[in-house]
């Protein structure tokens, strides 16, 4: 089995995470706690923000989700993958790996053993 190739690694250090008092629904709880979350990806300047929930953890999860869905982050990610790789998108790499000459197909024979199917 071929070892997986790491294309890109993004860690917590690549983001600025800001918390703030979110106000709105939730009354005094939201006015006293820093439950709102804003996350900024330093390299792309993409931002995700959430203040919908009373819990900071839920808001952080939602803010990350919003950040990675932004066009700014998607453009940065595609450019980064293109720079790192051999100029091929992930889809092109997958298509290349799924070419018939690179596939190995096995079937069970009469003795119920796995054997390679001739192409």
CA torsion 65-70-72-74 (nearest 10°) is: 70
User: What per-residue confidence (pLDDT) applies to 10?
Assistant: 87
Check residue 73 and give its pLDDT: 95
Could you say which residues of the chain have pLDDT below 50?
Answer: none
Number of C-alpha atoms within 13 angstroms, CB side, residue 27?
Answer: 1
Q: Is residue 67 part of a domain?
A: yes
pTM across the whole model: 0.62
At residue 21, the pLDDT reads: 84
* 1 inside domain: no
pLDDT of amino acid 66: 95
Q: Is 2 inside a domain boundary?
A: no
Please name every residue paired with 39 in a beta bridge, in sequence order, or none if there are none. 17, 48
Which CATH number do you get for residue 101? 3.30.160.20
Rounded Cα gap, residues 103 and 106, in angstroms: 10
What's the pLDDT at 119? 66
Domain hosting 70: range is 12-116
Considering its fold, how many domains does the chain have in total?
A: 1
């Amino acid at each position: 089995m071929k070892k997986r190739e790491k294309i890109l690694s993004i860690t917590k250090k690549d983001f600025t995470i800001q918390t703030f008092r979110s106000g709105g629904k939730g009354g005094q709880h939201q006015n006293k706690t820093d439950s709102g979350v804003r996350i900024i990806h330093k390299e792309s300047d993409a931002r995700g923000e959430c203040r919908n929930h009373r819990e900071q953890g839920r808001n952080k999860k939602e803010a990350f989700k919003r950040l990675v869905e932004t066009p700014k982050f998607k453009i940065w990610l595609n450019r980064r993958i293109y720079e790192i790789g051999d100029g091929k998108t992930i889809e092109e790499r997958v298509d290349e790996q799924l070419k018939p000459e690179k596939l190995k197909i096995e079937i069970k024979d009469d003795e119920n053993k796995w054997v390679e199917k001739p192409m």
